[in-house]
Structure 1
């Protein structure tokens, strides 16, 4: 996956390691242009000892940032590249070994993409969770402003979306084109409404995945009433037997998503 492009392409195109340059991602990354606490309190907090066991992800990220300022050695640079390649090729064992060896999960390539970006685009929720556990930043942006959540959204990887949201990913993060992951879900609906897919089952599955994706967003935002409306749409989708019926649900979902985007915009004012 380690190739050019931004999250915007995935709605248009739907969605292994190798020699230089690093491997291209799926087509989900192909086209980027489309579519305070008092100081005294902080001092006390810093002096507290962390409980024995797992080190908090925020501490791991802070330590990694300090280390990155010094610049990696040749050996470390090779390990960083291997980590991204392993995440891109779904090599869970190698990812785990490199992380246990102390490889920085937030290190990016020359296009700003981290191992978490690759794993998110590929839909590997096990690697995504592993990276988050070792301090990967769920809101780190690549060169096009895409967070891992943008990439998961435009490739319809619902388990990854759930994992990222629970790991602290922001649903209102903007890419360089000013789009949130919710905008990308709307773009996918636009593609479906154009009728580019001829398989009824494929369209039904796409709509179902977008409903699940939106449900996760709304739960994160605390919009429980809207979440119930999505549940009704999901039930209605399950009862469809013709493309016309699926198209009707898709239209309702598109209207629902547009309303959600408008509400999100109003809340920011």
Structure 2
């Protein structure tokens, strides 16, 4: 497949591109965290279980940054903690302070196992952040094809449009993420989708 050209690169959505230096995980400060958040962020399964049993924190309690234990476990790749929390019937689709769900955070941090657990337990892949991005837009930004494939296997909307009118495919072209462009085209994303600038994707020869 020849390279597909669409439109010039612009600055990414703040919601997709912001993150602490060197990674996408949360900046953690002890003064922001409750007991359960601290334990979840460090992957301490037994401690999280003990805190819940003693009633020191509830499973959906939020820290000072509006993050749940699930957000923190997903961002740090602690799949065992994620499993414990979902078994305790935590709410899967809550937003944190930056208007991201735990699934979005798992995808952004390239934590495929955590994302898979969430999807298996019914997390909604089509919820949007403040900029209209879905988990699939986050997978495009991370250029993580296995996670994108997993999202699509759970019926994520391949044509979801964010507030810039970008579908995941248009966003992949916009960000010059060629492998993701080719993957989404193979998954039958609409190559005739038009963004706000009326830029049309070229049809690739096969």
Q: Normalised by the shorter chain, which TM-score bucket?
A: 0.5 to 0.7
Is 1:188 aligned to residue 137 of structure 2?
no
Structure 1 residues 126-176: Cα deviation after superposition (integer angstroms, max 9, x where no partner): 100101111211101112210000000111111101100011110101111
Greater relative contact order (Cα 8 A, min sep 6): structure 1 or 2? 2
1:9 to 18, 26, 45: 18
Are the equivalent residues in 1 in contact too, given 2:73–2:81 (CA < 8 A)?
yes
Which blocks of at least 5 consecutive residues in structure 2 are unaligned?
A: 1-13, 158-176, 194-206
Say if 1:14 and 1:154, in contact at 8 Å, map to a contact too.
Answer: no
**Is 2:31 the counterpart of 1:20?**
yes
Please give the alpha-carbon distance, in whole angstroms, between the structure 1 residues aligned to 2:18 and 2:191: 20
Structure 1 pair 12–170 and aligned structure 2 pair: CA distance change class (3 A): farther
**Cα distance change, pair 152–217 in 1 and its aligned pair in 2 (3 A):** same
User: 2:63 matched to 1:109?
Assistant: yes
1:94 equivalent in alignment to 2:28? no
TM norm structure 2? 0.65
Out of 197, 221, 225, the position equivalent to 2:155 is 221
Q: Return the match for 1:134 from 76, 80, 88.
A: 88
Query: Contact 2:32–2:65 at 8 Å: present in 1 too?
Result: no
Q: d(CA) in 1 for partners of 2:53 and 2:191? A: 40
Aligned mates of 1:162, 1:91 — CA distance in 2:
20
In the superposition, relative to structure 1, how do residues 170 and 182 fare at CA in structure 2: closer, same or farther (>3 Å)? same
Q: Answer 1 or 2: which has greater helix percent.
A: 1
Unaligned 5+ segments in structure 1 are 23-80, 190-209, 224-246, 264-269
Larger radius of gyration: 1
Match runs of 1:226-245 below 5 Å? none
In the comparison of the two structures, how many residue pairs are matched?
Answer: 158
1:175–1:13 Cα change, 3 Å = farther
* Alignment RMSD: 3.3
Q: Where do residues 1-269 of structure 1 align in structure 2 (5 Å cutoff)?
A: 8-9=17-18, 14-15=23-24, 19-22=30-33, 81-102=34-55, 103-189=57-143, 210-221=144-155, 249-253=179-183, 255=185, 259=189
Q: CA 1:217 to 1:17, structure 2 compared with 1: closer, same or farther past 3 Å?
A: closer
